Structure 1
Amino acid sequence: MSRLQHLRTFLTIYREGSVSGAAPKLNLTQPAASQHLRLLETQLGQPLFQRLPRGLAPTGAAHALARLIAPHLDALDAALNATRTRARDLPGPLRLGGPAEFLHARVVPHLTPLLEAGIQLRVHCGLSDDLAEQVAAGHLDLMIATTRPDARLTSEPLFEERFLLVGAPRWAERLPGRVLRSADLSEVPLLAYADDLPLLRRYWGMVFGARLESVPTLVLPDLRGLLDAAISGAGVTVLPEYLAGPAAQRGDLRVLHHPTEPPANTLYLTWSEARFTARVAFVRDHLKSLVTLST
């Protein structure tokens, strides 16, 4: 029989002042509660109560033991109750939004624990500004944002994405072995996410200190598509490390430049405090743990 159960029985008897008062609270019969107490007294080698005609009187040893164990048993009971409550409140729908590429690479492979907890996930992909409006309007419960949303919503940093200049091995072999300059890339075809070259322009400005004026040979608003195009040898592009890193490790891509401070961007977990439930908290904490583990 568990010593923890003996201690719990003792503490309940101590607080109730009698075995008859304690037994129902412990879901025990009076003989079973009395047996717990006798076993504990045998283990301690001293009595914990004086048996009176009506009830029990704690001994000095009982007072000392109660002071020692009560905070710990109460904290344990509180934790168990919180876990039971959370488990009861978890099942149900949750609407999660974020950038398709990050969700695909770093979130979707790790969703099984959420589904096994009874959460019915509905995943929405899109741009952060649009998704933030949906969170504010109550159409999404939680999102991963590429920029910190406005003060209507609560957010906390989740992940720092670093950006790499990458291309297929054949492009790496054509570039000089010395430190790369922007001029070395003037004749290289560029693959872009949008016509205004957002990632490429940022890389050129921050790393090369130069303005990029080239016209891209391919515009494709999907980073996974750009990854495939770069692997095929179509040209050079800038991609987040979480996406390009595995391909570079396999040798399908080469990192063409290694600046001391590569461009980076922080992703944020974002929600509305007005609709922050135990389910939202559980999914938020799961996302934080899986991104940390897989970084």
Structure 2
Amino acid sequence: MAARVTHSQPTGFGPRDILVAAMMNILWGLNIVAVKLAVEATGPFTAAMLRQAIVFIVCASALRIVPGKMRELIGLGFLSGGVFYVFVNWSLAVSDNVSALAIAGQLSVPFSLILAVIFLGERIHIVRIGGIALSFLGVVLLVFDPSAGSEVTGIALTAAGSFIWALASLIQRRMAGVPVLTIYAWMGLIGTIVLLPLTIWQEGDVLKALPTLPLRDFGWIAFSAIGSTICGHGAMSWLLQRHPITSVVPLMLASPVISVIAASLFFATPLTPIMIAGGSIALVGVAIVTIRTARAKEHQG
């Protein structure tokens, strides 16, 4: 998630904009592979805690008290920096078919819209309702796939993580004007504080063995922290400063496709016809919700 920013007048996408958008999608798309490898190398909670610690270290210079926004920053750090990663990394620890989790992870978009309707009074019409229905239908289809049906626990944990992300997105809407690096500094700090006791409790032996962990395994965690979290979301913020939200948001839809394909190729898990159908249906639903919501926000602005 990135802070809401005010974009300048549209200037058209030049080569540099296209390159930044491609980098953003590649970083986000490959992140699920990096997180899975980090979880296997350390443990779900250790990997999450180290990721947030790295985010904090990189962004620490931007940490500052933001008058009138501290309650939101603390809440965002607790949910998006801590609890969210508990569910996501746990789901990866108990699952083999990572592609199925990449599809289920798209539920954060319809969840976010549903919560906005309930708590913020946002009004939606039949098109976005249909998009929500398609998103859930695509994920439900995974249960009927022999290669993904055994991952019900992982899919459920991913769905729970997506719901936490959606809750955090309600708070994110109140962060207008707060620098992105300041947001991530607080998320990294609070996320580390939230995850450290859980890590000590569940994976204390892993923490003691960290000095012997190969640099390659630290690299997967650093990729998630710096590549996906800081650079990926920083790229999106940079694009939103230069172009209308309706032009930028559709570009994000490439990342789940990259995630599904990359996970299938890297971990040699099959992409069956049912998975492809479910993923396609879910992606269409997410695209409808994402693009229509972006247009609604632009008209309001």
TM-score past 0.5 threshold: no
Q: Normalising by structure 1, what TM-score?
A: 0.20
More strand by share: 1
Give the alignment's TM-score, normalised by structure 2.
0.20
Is the radius of gyration larger for structure 1 or structure 2?
A: 1
User: Which structure is higher in helix share?
Assistant: 2
Answer 1 or 2: higher relative contact order, Cα 8 Å, separation at least 6.
2
